[in-house]
Amino acid sequence: MTSPSPVLYDYILSPSCYKARLMAALAGVRLALRPVDFHPGVEHRGPELLALNPAGSIPILVAPDADGDLILTESAAILVYLASKAAPAFLGSGKPAESARIQQWLAFSARLTASLGGARLHEMLHRPGDLAGLRASGIAALRELEAALFEQRLKGEAFLVGNRPTVADIACFPYVALAPDGGVSLDAYPSIRLWMRAVRALEGFIEMPGIHRLHELKPDPHEAPATAEA
Amino acid sequence: MSRDAMIDEWYPVGLLSQLLPEGRETLLMGETIRVSLGADGRAKVATTAGHPLPVTERYGHVWSSLGQPARPLFDIPEAEHPGRRLVDVGVVRVRCSPLRAVENFLDIAHFPFVHTDILGAEPHTEVESYKVEIREEADEVWATQVKFYQPQAAKSASGGITTEYMYRVPAPTCSVLYKTCPPRPGEWDVITLFVQPLTEELCDVWPWMALYDDDTPMTDLIHFQQMIFLQDRSILENQIPRRLPLDPGMEIPTRADLTSVAYRRWLKRHGFTYGAQLVAQ
């Protein structure tokens, strides 16, 4: 008997929800999506969702587990759970330094959410906030990320931790890729742009609004047309 | 450019379902205005100096104007047919000219590239010939007999279909799209783009829909339309020049862009230039 799919309380425009969708797609885990009317309905602050997550945020993952339902409300924990279940390579090799570096980036990703994500919500959906301050801390985080990815490139490594993707990349990618939505340009960060391209080229990659797929890779432009026209 | 000719038009300034007694401030063509719920349960719009502005409540939204509208808000008769689901999609701010937002909505050629596998798909990129006219009596731009292959034309569509569209521009920052309705062949779904011009290079976009779809949950309908519009947002924010050029030379249209050509011509004819650029620079 197959166990039912984990349920993701999801919003199509949320980069944090997208992290979970992307990780699941890369790991081959099927999620049951439960759309949440975040905007304009503010459903995440309603009684049903507050009962699941008193913090009033999404995503929320409800996964059937041996001890009853496992309820996860932090996107980093959701990524680790999905990777542990179906794609353990996304957790790294298990060497102490590598595991610690992954944790370092998972924690760092929360800064991206607060800064670049805050600027995006302000610019796009009218959420209140100090836009100049949010952008400044977002740019500071991007500069750190650019420096780290540049060092990785010198080592010949395309991803944040090693030469293969881990949950660290999935945790950091969405808010970085959507920084322009909050008025923060990525033009100044060539290493970040190469890294984003590497993430978008992963087998099983899925898009979200504002993050487009690599059109030059899919579909194959050299594929023969299905029908010949006279 | 000047806002003079557009000042007497109606513009969306808020959702009727989200009005608050204390009101909220927003911008209309550079002026700060306050949109609130009056004690009588009706929408109120006023300048910051307290000067009341005209109000219309229709299609889920509050409409107002800085000037004196000569005619009532345009009709969308189909939207008021009983049995339709009315969908308030909510507001999305876009750093682009309000006219650019409407023009993008009128374009079909971008579907396979921006809305891949939803409203279009490679290699089905051809825009077949369609008909465009400025209907003099109604004073509106219309594009009809628009056909396009769509993998998932609507939330209610299962599998790819060739969708037929009609586009209509009844006001300088509003467009109404009529689209094949998957569950009810013979009827049209109504999908609108109501654009509030905040400044010449900044707008709030209020998509709204009147659909025949009894099955899809409301949140799914909202998410579908938000997904589509947000796929456009990053493109719109990167268009150069930022204001819509109304004179030829700056941008070269192709045959697929006939609706855009007619829209620009109609804007120019009326002097609707708020958010536009006239001489190629």
Same domain, A53 and A117: no
In a domain, residue A83? The reply is: yes
Domain that holds residue A169: 92-200
Instruction: Nearest chain A residue to B233 by CA: give it.
Output: A210
DSSP secondary-structure letter at A136? H
Q: Which of A13, A40, A213 faces B230 most closely, judged by CB atoms?
A: A13
Task: Read off φ and ψ for residue B2, nearest 5 degrees.
Answer: -80, 150
B257 to chain A, any CB pair closer than 8 A? The answer is no
Specify burial of residue A22 (Cβ count, 10 A radius: 0-12, 13-18, 19+). buried
Q: Which of B113, B220, B238 faces A35 most closely, judged by CB atoms?
A: B220
Name every chain B residue with its beta carbon within 8 A of the beta carbon of A207.
116
Is A230 a residue whose pLDDT tops 50?
no
Domain final residue pick, A54, A88, A122: A88
In a domain, residue A108? The reply is: yes
Q: List CB contacts of B189: < 8 A, sequence separation 6 or more.
A: B154, B178, B179, B180, B181, B209, B210, B211, B212, B213
Instruction: Nearest chain A residue to B204 by CA: give it.
Output: A124
In a domain, residue A212? The reply is: no
% of chain A surpassing 90 pLDDT: 87
The CATH number corresponding to B4-277 among 3.40.50.2300, 3.90.380.10, 1.10.260.40, 3.40.50.620 equals 3.90.380.10
In a domain, residue A69? The reply is: yes
- Position B67: which residue type? G
Q: Which residue has the tokens 């339709």?
A: B84
ipTM greater than 0.95:
no
**pLDDT recorded at residue B248:** 81
Phi-psi region of A220 (alpha: psi -120 to 50; beta: other; left: phi over 0): beta
Q: Which of A35, A123, A210 faces B230 most closely, judged by CB atoms?
A: A210
Cα A23 → chain centroid: 8
Over the stretch B112-122, which tens digit does the pLDDT of each residue have?
A: 989 988 899 88
Same domain, A46 and A99: no
% of chain A surpassing 70 pLDDT: 92
Specify burial of residue A44 (Cβ count, 10 A radius: 0-12, 13-18, 19+). buried
Is B228 a residue whose pLDDT tops 90?
yes
Is A130 a residue whose pLDDT tops 70?
yes
Is A228 a residue whose pLDDT tops 50?
no
User: Which is more confidently placed, B130 or B181?
Assistant: B130
- Interface residues of A toward B, Cβ cutoff 8 Å, are 11-13, 35-37, 39-41, 43, 123-126, 180-181, 183, 207, 209-210, 212-213, 215, 219, 225
Domain final residue pick, A62, A88, A114: A88
Average model confidence (pLDDT) across chain B: 93
Same domain, A82 and A168: no
Same domain, A96 and A182: yes
Over the stretch B101-154, which tens digit does the pLDDT of each residue have?
A: 999 999 999 999 899 888 998 888 999 999 999 999 999 999 999 999 888 878
In a domain, residue A1? The reply is: no
Alpha-carbon separation of residue B126 from A225, B47, B108, B178 (angstroms): 14, 48, 10, 20
Domain of A160, CATH number, reads 1.20.1050.10
Same domain, A99 and A82: no
Whether the CB-CB separation of A105 and A162 falls below 8 Å is answered with: no
The tally of domains found in chain A comes to 2
Is A219 a residue whose pLDDT tops 90?
no
**pLDDT recorded at residue B1:** 63
Same domain, A74 and A25: yes
In a domain, residue A23? The reply is: yes
Over the stretch A50-77, which tens digit does the pLDDT of each residue have?
A: 999 999 999 999 999 888 899 999 999 9
Same domain, A109 and A186: yes
Name every chain B residue with its beta carbon within 8 A of the beta carbon of A181.
233-234
> According to DSSP H, which parts of chain B are helical?
98-106, 111-114, 218-236, 258-270
B223 to chain A, any CB pair closer than 8 A? The answer is yes
Mean pLDDT of A2-24: 94
Same domain, A78 and A102: no
**pLDDT recorded at residue A2:** 61
Q: Which residue has the tokens 């003099």?
A: B136
Average model confidence (pLDDT) across chain A: 93
Instruction: Nearest chain B residue to A223 by CA: give it.
Output: B123
Same domain, A137 and A182: yes
Name every chain A residue with its beta carbon within 8 A of the beta carbon of B219.
35-37, 41, 43
Is A220 a residue whose pLDDT tops 90?
no
Q: List CB contacts of B113: < 8 A, sequence separation 6 or more.
A: A215, B120, B122, B125
Over the stretch B17-60, which tens digit does the pLDDT of each residue have?
A: 999 999 999 999 999 999 999 999 999 999 999 999 999 999 99
Sheet of strand A68-72: strand arrangement: A32-35, A7-10, A60-65, A68-72
Domain of A66, CATH number, reads 3.40.30.10
User: Which is more confidently placed, A219 or B191?
Assistant: B191
Name every chain B residue with its beta carbon within 8 A of the beta carbon of A40.
15, 17-18, 88-91, 222
B42 to chain A, any CB pair closer than 8 A? The answer is no
Mean pLDDT of B242-260: 90
DSSP secondary-structure letter at A114? I
Mean pLDDT of B233-260: 91
**pLDDT recorded at residue B48:** 94
Beta pairing class for B188-199 and B61-64: unpaired
Is B280 a residue whose pLDDT tops 80?
no
- Rounded Cα gap, residues A44 and B246, in angstroms: 44
**pLDDT recorded at residue A66:** 85
CA-based nearest residue to A124, from A179, A193, A189: A179
User: Which is more confidently placed, A221 or B166?
Assistant: B166
Whether the CB-CB separation of A106 and A168 falls below 8 Å is answered with: yes
Q: What is the DSSP string of A19-88?
A: HHHHHHHHHT---EEEE---TTT-GGGSHHHHHH-TT--S-EEEEEETTEEEEE-SHHHHHHHHHHHH-G
Residue A229's pLDDT band (cuts 50, 70, 90): very low
Residue B91's pLDDT band (cuts 50, 70, 90): very high
Alpha-carbon separation of residue B80 from A39, A59, A128, B107, B132 (angstroms): 25, 36, 35, 26, 25
Specify burial of residue B237 (Cβ count, 10 A radius: 0-12, 13-18, 19+). middle
Same domain, A59 and A104: no
Name every chain B residue with its beta carbon within 8 A of the beta carbon of A213.
116
For chain B, the domains span 4-277
Same domain, A62 and A107: no
Name every chain B residue with its beta carbon within 8 A of the beta carbon of A225.
123
Instruction: Nearest chain B residue to A226 by CA: give it.
Output: B123
CB contact under 8 A, A212 and B114: yes
Domain final residue pick, A88, A116, A143: A88
Residue A105's pLDDT band (cuts 50, 70, 90): very high
Distance to chain B for A10, nearest Cα, Å: 10
